[in-house]
Amino acid sequence: MERASQRGINNDRLSLALAYGEIIQKQELEFHILGENRIPDEFEKEKGKLKNTVVVTRRDCVITCYRAKEPYKQIRKKSKNFYTQRVAA
């Protein structure tokens, strides 16, 4: 959560993204995207700080969170599967 606070994403914003964000599943991860149109009206004042917030989770555990200019485009470009590179010993 230290890194999230450095990025200006507090627990309230994180909770809003998890509650109202659109979920896209890729690479065995869930991307919760809080787009501009998904922000509830009661948070209109904070719309600029909330829009395009992305929270990445796996099995109900938050991995990371960030803000992106075009989060849908960025996530759509990711491959469907997560590949790890193995190094032969």
What backbone torsions phi and psi does residue 86 show, to the nearest 5 degrees? -100, 135
pLDDT tens for 18-75 read: 999 999 998 889 999 999 999 999 998 989 889 999 999 999 899 999 999 998 888 8
Query: CA-to-CA distance for 31 and 66, rounded, in angstroms?
Result: 11
| Other beta carbons within 10 Å of 24 | 16
Amino acid 20: pLDDT: 95
- Confidence (pTM): 0.80
Contact 74, 68 (CB under 8 A): yes
